A and B are shown apart, each in its own frame.
Chain A
Amino acid sequence: MFRPKTRYVALPSPRAGVGEEIDRLTCPKCDTSLEPARLTAALGVCYRCGYHFRLRAPERIAMLVEPGSFREEDQQITAKDVLGFKDSQPYSKRIEQSRAATGANEAVIWGEATLAGHRLVIVCLDFAFMGGSMGAATGEKITNGIERALQSHLPLLIISASGGARMQEGMLSLMQLAKTAAALGRLGAAGVPYISLLTDPTMGGVTASFASLGDVILAEPGAMIGFAGARVIQQATYETLPEGFQTAEFLWRHGMIDLVVPRPELPAVLRQLLDLYIKNGIVKDFELQKPAKTSAPVSVVPR
């Protein structure tokens, strides 16, 4: 069984911006000059120190699923500036810039795919698009993914990478926490397994909703995961934060996640989990109206 290794603890979290993925030449942890081809072959993990670089959502999905099996949904859904929000520049302009810089319409992509021979719904956040923040369109796509898993009785994998709720959509963003959580409540009641993979960083409202609601929660080594940011905590409490505070390993020690998984081991871990969690079948024709505790399985989907 894998146990978190100390060498992964307390990795610095680089302030990765858009475009980081095309300039992965120096490791932010060990400062080694890395050959892009070798780094790519190593799945974006520094081959000197094990530092896990952030990945774009399409890269991540390509790395996990069977080639050509991913069918993206809701590609057209994009953020809207409902509040007319403006900080140093209008939100509408930020959306345009993010779209141009990332080639994505939102901070999440989702669809069905095949992984280790299993059909599943995969939802992947993209930190490059406005810090992976969850606005109304983001929450809508995530909820559509959850509801697809519910309707088609397919296991769900959500890969998180997010700074939290998107400020620029105010309360419409906050309500996405409730929306995604409510949908996962139904998924859980229906007996459809949900695996949550937390990657660097997973913070704020995303942690306080769908990311922490997995039946199984995995995290990548060194990923920063938490609710309040370390700076906010220090300003509020003047506390000295422990070594490795809010890293994946820290959360594992405190019982908040099931396993810290180095990226190269991820396919094998997911295969094992998918095999185990759907071996007995998924309860079919579950009636939403029934309280979970009193409903007996009506029928079982044969494998």
Chain B
Amino acid sequence: MSENGSVAAATWEQVELARHPDRPYALDYIHAIFSDFFELHGDRVFGDDHAIIGGPAAFDKRTVMVIAQQKGRTTAERALRNFGMANPEGYRKALRLIKQAERFRFPIVALVDTSGAFPGAGAEERGIAWAIADNLVALAEARVPIVTLVIGEGGSGGALGIGVGDRLLMMEHSIYSVAMPEACASILWRDIARKVEAADALKLTAADLKRLGLADEIVPEPPGGAQNDFGVATDAAGAALRRHLGALETIEIDRLVEERYQRYRKIGAEAP
């Protein structure tokens, strides 16, 4: 590609790959990487949200707490999972699991895959912003190692609501953005058709985040994308999670929590 706009077109290709309907979703990674995953349900307040799933699972010789955003593959499952867009109940279930992980010293593995928190009247009535903000605090303070892996779409506050941690890994063709390109185009250009330009301007690819110093590692996918070979993608993801968790577990917990604080504290800080 050499003509005008080729860079933007290449970025858009990444967006489409990140959203590819045949891509492995959270449960595909969970079943491939962990054993004995036991899904916990419900936020103990209002309901159970199937867009965010989680529970303890065995990973090598330890138990980890998995918290993940799950999209649906069939029409029925998409409806059940609300296209991976969680309501407050999903974030409050995640909060329950974060607290439980601390209690039992389970490291947390978060798999991010959402276009964003659900924009619905009920979500607003039940305090979606409040639920997300509470999780930001809980994850920042959690006294266990946390590794976040973006497997597909990382959409705004909805992704960050389970995405604060010690390491941010991104699958090669995943994206992570302050707003989805369509929303950004609609806000800044007042024209949703400018989504390709918006995607490029937002700097949302895994490579962009690595360059910005926000992502720690890009996990390679098979040629053409993870949808072409689940095994290759999940093996690479498992290996990366194993390596990073192993390294984090050697760090004394007070220092780890302090380093996590500084990790975010320095983003956008003035040079002295």
Q: Cβ of B212: which chain A residues have Cβ within 8 Å of it? A: 82, 171-172
User: Within residues 245 to 303 of chain A, which ones have a CB less than 8 A from any CB in chain B?
Assistant: 245-246, 250, 254-256, 288-289, 291-292
B239 within 8 A of A: no
Stretch at the interface among A7-15, A48-56, A62-70, A235-243: A235-243
Main secondary structure, interface of B, reads helix
A184 and B137 contacting across the interface, CB-CB below 8 Å = yes
Q: Cβ of A210: which chain B residues have Cβ within 8 Å of it? A: 133
A165 and B137 contacting across the interface, CB-CB below 8 Å = no
A227 and B178 contacting across the interface, CB-CB below 8 Å = no
- Size bracket, chain B contacts: 35 or more
Given A213-B133, A237-B120, 14 more pairs with CB closer than 8 A:
A86-B201, A87-B188, A168-B188, A171-B209, A174-B157, A178-B164, A182-B264, A184-B137, A207-B133, A210-B133, A233-B124, A237-B121, A254-B125, A289-B258
B183 and A232 contacting across the interface, CB-CB below 8 Å = yes
Contacts from A to B (Cβ < 8 Å) = 77, 82-83, 85-88, 135-137, 139-140, 143, 165-179, 181-186, 188-189, 204-205, 207-213, 226-229, 232-233, 236-237, 239, 241-242, 245-246, 250, 254-256, 288-289, 291-292
Taking the nearest CB of chain B, how far is it from the CB of A33, in angstroms?
31
With beta carbons under 8 angstroms apart, the residue of B121, B197, B270 that contacts A245 is B121
Q: Cβ of A227: which chain B residues have Cβ within 8 Å of it? A: 117, 119, 123-124, 128-129, 132, 157
Taking the nearest CB of chain B, how far is it from the CB of A215, in angstroms?
12
Given A241-B121, A289-B254, A181-B267 contact (CB < 8 Å): no
What separation, in Å, do the CA atoms of A83 and B160 have in the docked complex?
A: 20
B119 and A87 contacting across the interface, CB-CB below 8 Å = no
What separation, in Å, do the CA atoms of A292 and B127 have in the docked complex?
A: 25
Q: Cβ of B133: which chain A residues have Cβ within 8 Å of it? A: 177, 181, 207-213
Given A239-B121, A256-B127, A182-B265 contact (CB < 8 Å): yes
Q: Cβ of B125: which chain A residues have Cβ within 8 Å of it? A: 250, 254
15 contacts between A and B (CB under 8 A): A83-B202, A87-B197, A88-B188, A88-B189, A135-B268, A171-B209, A172-B212, A178-B164, A208-B128, A210-B133, A212-B127, A229-B119, A245-B121, A256-B130, A288-B258
Q: Which of A172, A182, A185, A236 has the most CB of B within 10 A?
A: A182
Q: Cβ of A255: which chain B residues have Cβ within 8 Å of it? A: 127
What separation, in Å, do the CA atoms of A88 and B268 have in the docked complex?
A: 25
Q: Cβ of A88: which chain B residues have Cβ within 8 Å of it? A: 188-189
What separation, in Å, do the CA atoms of A245 and B125 have in the docked complex?
A: 9
B16 within 8 A of A: no
B50 within 8 A of A: no
A176 and B126 contacting across the interface, CB-CB below 8 Å = no
Given A167-B188, A170-B204, A291-B143 contact (CB < 8 Å): yes
A228 and B123 contacting across the interface, CB-CB below 8 Å = yes
What separation, in Å, do the CA atoms of A143 and B157 have in the docked complex?
A: 18
Q: Mark B213-228, 1 if CB is under 8 A from A, else 0.
A: 0100000000000000
A208 and B267 contacting across the interface, CB-CB below 8 Å = no
Q: Cβ of B160: which chain A residues have Cβ within 8 Å of it? A: 174-175, 177-178
What separation, in Å, do the CA atoms of A172 and B177 have in the docked complex?
A: 9
User: Within residues 113 to 158 of chain B, which ones have a CB less than 8 A from any CB in chain A?
Assistant: 117-121, 123-130, 132-134, 136-138, 140-141, 143, 156-157
Q: Cβ of B269: which chain A residues have Cβ within 8 Å of it? A: 140
What separation, in Å, do the CA atoms of A210 and B136 have in the docked complex?
A: 10
Taking the nearest CB of chain B, how far is it from the CB of A289, in angstroms?
4
What separation, in Å, do the CA atoms of A179 and B160 have in the docked complex?
A: 11
What separation, in Å, do the CA atoms of A62 and B45 have in the docked complex?
A: 42
Taking the nearest CB of chain B, how far is it from the CB of A213, in angstroms?
5
A205 and B124 contacting across the interface, CB-CB below 8 Å = no
What separation, in Å, do the CA atoms of A136 and B179 have in the docked complex?
A: 15
A172 and B268 contacting across the interface, CB-CB below 8 Å = yes
B268 and A179 contacting across the interface, CB-CB below 8 Å = yes
Q: Cβ of B179: which chain A residues have Cβ within 8 Å of it? A: 165, 167
Q: Cβ of B202: which chain A residues have Cβ within 8 Å of it? A: 83, 85, 167, 170-171
Taking the nearest CB of chain A, how far is it from the CB of B183, in angstroms?
7
A178 and B140 contacting across the interface, CB-CB below 8 Å = yes
With beta carbons under 8 angstroms apart, the residue of B209, B257, B267 that contacts A176 is B267
What separation, in Å, do the CA atoms of A256 and B131 have in the docked complex?
A: 11
Residue of B nearest to A231 (CB): B186
A181 and B130 contacting across the interface, CB-CB below 8 Å = no
B137 and A212 contacting across the interface, CB-CB below 8 Å = no
Q: Cβ of B265: which chain A residues have Cβ within 8 Å of it? A: 143, 179, 182-183
A175 and B188 contacting across the interface, CB-CB below 8 Å = no
Q: Mark B241-257, 1 if CB is under 8 A from A, else 0.
A: 00000000000001001
Q: Cβ of B10: which chain A residues have Cβ within 8 Å of it? A: none
Residue of A nearest to B91 (CB): A208
A245 and B124 contacting across the interface, CB-CB below 8 Å = yes
What separation, in Å, do the CA atoms of A210 and B130 have in the docked complex?
A: 10
